[in-house]
Amino acid sequence: MKVSVITISYNSENFIADAIQSVLSQTHPDLEYIIVDGNSQDHTLNIIKSFGAGISKWVSEPDKGLYDALNKGISMATGEVVGFLHSDDFFANNRVIEKVSELFENSRTDSVYGDVQYVDQTDTGKILTNRKSGQFSLLKLKLGWLPPHPTFYVKRELYSKYGNFDTTFNISADYDSMLRFLGKYKISAVYSREVMVKMRVGGVSNRTMKNISKKWQEDYRAMKNNDVGNLITLFLKTMRPIAHFYKSPRYLFE
């Protein structure tokens, strides 16, 4: 099974090499790696070029934002399954994509997701918290649960069938997309009981009340668009990260 992994980047020189290396070290034999860069002005492009033919496809050009770049990546993908890896994240081990492929093939599912670990920005061996997703259910979705998007792999044909990321969202198009797939159209999902991705946290925070308020508004619009949840769902979704970050309040609204 061919799996396409998409990374989007913009001025990502600090960490993108780790992301790329973690993809290229994957044991799965049929992996397509795509990088969509937003015309970076630092050394990101030099780093991308240094990996040569290991990167299947890449492009660097201005875009209309995060979700426009992700949609470009989907349009470039040729794999049966599509997933995403942020430029400052990395795979937990070199068999992540191999196991994703096995789950798709053995269960005939529409999607696969797993767990993430949040690690220190510079000392990635320092685990700040573990996020265990648990089994999917529609009830949990209505109670504010969602799978970690960096672990969410979906059959590419479903993006064609049900739509790409809605670029009218600035913050919550990934949430809208998962509600559309899992809630509105009720695709099947299989939970991989393993850490798939390690996500860096730290640096300058942009979680101002203005941004938090905007996220609430967009999350609620995503719920209404897909007829999944209500204001109670929004409240529970907002409070849920506290269980993961009770020691690190600054990250509550990720």
Residue of 106, 146, 99, 91 lying closest to 3 (CA atoms): 99
Mean pLDDT (whole number) for 234-248:
70
Is 60 inside any structural domain?
yes
Say how far apart CA 250 and CA 247 lie, in whole Å: 9
* Dihedral angle sign, alpha carbons of residues 215, 120, 85, 155: negative
Phi then psi for residue 77, to 5 deg, are -75, 145
Is 186 inside any structural domain?
yes
Q: Which domain holds residue 110?
A: 3-204
Q: Which pLDDT band, with edges at 50, 70 and 90, does 254 fall under?
A: very low
Is 250 inside any structural domain?
no
**pLDDT tops 60 at residue 244:** no
Q: Compute the residue count for the chain.
A: 254
Contact 7, 91 (CB under 8 A): no
Question: ∠ at Cα 232 (227, 237), nearest 5°?
Answer: 85
Is 48 inside any structural domain?
yes
**pLDDT tops 90 at residue 250:** no
Model confidence, pTM: 0.92
How would you classify the pairing of strands 57-60 and 31-37?
A: parallel
Q: Which pLDDT band, with edges at 50, 70 and 90, does 205 fall under?
A: very low
Is 213 inside any structural domain?
no
CATH number at residue 43: 3.90.550.10
pLDDT digits (tens, 9 = 90+) for 95-148: 999 999 999 999 999 999 999 999 999 999 999 989 999 999 999 999 999 999
Domain count, the chain: 1
Q: What is the pLDDT of residue 239?
A: 84
Q: What is the pLDDT of residue 242?
A: 63
Mean pLDDT (whole number) for 62-70:
95
**pLDDT tops 90 at residue 67:** yes
Is 227 inside any structural domain?
no
Is 253 inside any structural domain?
no
Mean pLDDT (whole number) for 187-194:
97
Is 110 inside any structural domain?
yes
Mean pLDDT (whole number) for 25-48:
97
